[in-house]
Amino acid sequence: MPNSLDIKTLLSLLRPHRRSILAGYLVALLALALSIPTPLFVPLLVDEVILGQKGWLTNLLSPLYADAPILFYVGMVLLIVTFLRLAYFGLHIWQYKIFTHLSKEVTLKLREKVLEKLQRSSIFEFERLGGGNISSRLINDLETIDSFIAITSGRFLLALLSLLGIGVVLLFIHVWLGLFILLLNPLVVLASRRIGQRVGLIKKEENRAIESFQAQIEEVFLLLAPIRVNNLSERFFGKIKEEAHRVRQVGEEYAWKSEAAARFSGTVFLVGYEIFRAASILMVAYSDLSIGLMLAVFGYLWFMMTPIQELISTQYAYYNAKASLGRINELLDLPEESTRLEAKASFPLSPLHLEVKNLSFAFPDSPLLFEGLSMEIKPKEKVALIGASGSGKSTLAHLLVGLCSPLKGEILYNGKNTQELGFEAIRERVFLLLQEPRLFNDTLHFNLTLGKECPQEEIQKAIEIAQLSPFIASLKEGLETPLGRLGARLSGGQRQRVMIARMILAKPQFVIFDESTSALDLETEERLHDLLLEHLRDTTALIIAHRPTTIKKANRIYQLKEGSLREF
C-alpha cells in the first residue's frame, strides 16, 4: 500500500476481494432482474383486463383459470408482485451485507496502516498534533472514507445498472418518451455536483472543529487537578464551551446545507417527474401509448428516484472522502524515528558502554538547545548529570532512547551507532525512568510487568527494592488493584516507585534516572538508592538529579550549562 492515499488507491484496495465483489454483483444483478419488471405488472392489468386489450400477461394466466373474473387476475398479479418484492428485499440485504463487509475490511487495513505509521512516528509529532486531533482522524475521517467505499464498491455500479435496466424498459414502452426521460435525467446529477463539492468542504471544516474540540477535552481532563488547584476551571472549561459552540455552528451549517443539497436534488427530480408525467399524458393523447403503459411509466419514474439518489450520494461521499484523505495523509507524512534493526546478538549480554559525540539539538522553530555535546559512560559506571531547569538534561535522556532525533552528532552503544542498532533493539536494553511517570489504567500487576510473564519471586524482589511492600500489603486487592487513569489512585512517589519496580523486572543493561525519585522523602530515597545501587552494581547508569544525596552516589558528575558539558 503506498504511503500517500487517494481515491484510486482506495479502489485498488478492493482488488484482493474480487471474488467477494463478483458474488455481490451476481446477487445484486439477480435482485435487479427481479425488481425491474415488477412495476410493469399492475399497469398491464389496466390495458389487458380493464380495457380488454389482451396481451402476454392474461395469456400467461388464462390457462390456470378459464374465463377467470377480474379478481383472479388482480389476485394473481398481486401475489407475483409481492413475491418479487420480498425476493428483491432478501437479495438486496444479502448484497448489502457483502459490500459492507468489504468496506469494513478495507477501512480496517487503512486504520492499521495509519496506526503502524504512528507507531514509528516521532514522539514530538504526537505532542504537536495532540491525541484528540489524531483520534478524530482515526475515527471520523476513516468513517467518512468507509462510507465512500461502501457506496462506491456496491451501490454506485448497481445504481448505474438499475438506470440502464429501467432505460431499456422505458424504450420498450415508448422509444421517444424513453429517450426524452433518459436524456433529461443526467441534468439532475450535474445540477447536484457543484453543490456536492461545497458540502465536502464544509464536512472537512466540521471534522476539524470536532478534532479541536476533542483535543481541548483531552487536555483539560488530563490536567484537571492543576486546573482546579489554580482556580482556572472557568477559563479552561470556557475554552471547551467555545469549541463546542464552533462544533455546533459548523455542524449546523453542514447539516442544513447537506440536507438542502439533497432536497434540491430531490426537488429537481420531482420537477422532472412532473414534466415526464405530463409528457406521458401527451403521448397517450397524440400517440399509441396506452393508459396502462402510461401508468407503468409513472411507476418507473418513481423507481428511478432511488438509483439517481444513489448517484448523487456517491458525489457527496466522493468529495467528503477526498477531504478526509487529505487529513489522513497528513498523518502518513509524519517524520519517523529510526527503526532499523540488527540481530539482538549484536548487543553483548553485559553492561553497556555509552558514547555521545558532537551532539546538537534544537526543537522545531527554536534556537539550539546544545551544540557539539560529547560525553562517555563506561560499563558499570554510575554517572550523574546536573544542570539548571531547561538546560536540556531530559532532552538528552530522550535522545539516548530515540524519543527525539539530533540535528548532528551520533550516539554509540558499545561502539555501534544508533542508526545501525535501531531504537527498538536499544529500548530492550536501555530503560528510561521519567520524572513524571504515567501509568496504564489497569492493575498494579500489569503496570509492573506490562503483561509479560514474570516469576513471582522476581516481582516480590522488585517490590521490596522499590520500597512498595508496605503499600501493597495495605491494598485489599493487592497486585490486582486497579490504578485508575494514568495511575490516579497513587501519589507521585508511589508512581515513581512502581516505575522503578518495572525497571528492575525489565533487567536492563543501561538505566537512565531522570529525576525519578524526586517525589520521595529523603529517608525513603536514601534506602531506595542503597538497595538500587546494590542491585544495579553490574549495570551502567546515568543519573539526572538535583539532590546532593542522589548525586553523591555517582562515580563521576557532568554539568550541562549553556549548551555544553563539563565534568567535575
Between 305-332 and 157-173, two packed helices, what is the crossing angle to 10 degrees? 160
Distance CA 560, CA 567 (A): 9
Question: What is the grid cell recorded at 485?
Answer: 487513569
Cα 189–Cα 195–Cα 146 angle in degrees, nearest 5 = 80
Of 208, 127, 149, whose CA–CA distance to 5 is shortest? 149
Distance CA 57, CA 74 (A): 11
The CA–CA distances, whole Å, from 282 to 103, 286, 291 equal: 46, 6, 11
CATH 1.20.1560.10 domain extents, the chain? 7-330
Question: What is the grid cell recorded at 413?
Answer: 552503544
CATH 3.40.50.300 domain extents, the chain? 344-567
Distance CA 6, CA 137 (A): 16
User: What are 156-210's pLDDT values in tens digits?
Assistant: 878 888 888 888 888 888 888 778 777 776 666 566 555 655 666 666 677 777 7
Distance CA 450, CA 157 (A): 49
Of 111, 164, 170, 109, whose CA–CA distance to 135 is shortest? 111
Q: What is the DSSP string of 250-273?
A: HHHHHHHHHHHHHHHHHHHHHHHH
Cβ atoms within 10 Å of 108's Cβ, excluding its own: 12
Grid look-up 437479495 returns 91
Burial per residue of 163-191, b for 16 or more beta-carbon CB atoms within 10 angstroms, e otherwise:
bebbbebbeebbeebbebbbeebeebbee
- Report pLDDT for 199: 62
Alpha helical stretches, state H, 305-357: 305-332
Judge whether 321 and 382 are in contact, CB under 8 Å: no
Judge whether 528 and 494 are in contact, CB under 8 Å: no
Of 514, 511, 554, whose CA–CA distance to 352 is shortest? 511
- Report pLDDT for 341: 45
Judge whether 359 and 372 are in contact, CB under 8 Å: yes
- Report pLDDT for 345: 41
Distance CA 89, CA 80 (A): 14
Could you tell me the end-to-end alpha-carbon distance of the chain, in angstroms, rounded to an integer?
Answer: 54
Task: State the Cα torsion 255-261-262-268 to the nearest 10°.
Answer: 160
Distance CA 420, CA 404 (A): 17
- Report pLDDT for 379: 92
List Cβ neighbours of 400 (8 Å cut-off, separation of 6 or more): 354, 356, 411, 430, 432, 512, 542
Residues of the chain below pLDDT 50: 339, 341-345
Q: What is the DSSP secondary structure assignment for residue 192, as one 8-state letter?
A: H
SS3 state of residue 355? strand
Does domain 344-567 match CATH 3.40.50.300? yes
Distance CA 274, CA 527 (A): 90
- Report pLDDT for 355: 92
User: What are 267-293's pLDDT values in tens digits?
Assistant: 776 777 788 788 888 888 888 888 888
Q: What is the DSSP secondary structure assignment for residue 392, as one 8-state letter?
A: S
Question: What is the grid cell recorded at 227?
Answer: 486546573
Distance CA 198, CA 253 (A): 11
Distance CA 368, CA 257 (A): 49
Q: 343 burial class (0-12, 13-18, 19+ CB within 10 angstroms)?
A: exposed
Distance CA 483, CA 445 (A): 10
Fold assignment, 7-330: ABC transporter transmembrane region fold (1.20.1560)
Judge whether 165 and 36 are in contact, CB under 8 Å: yes
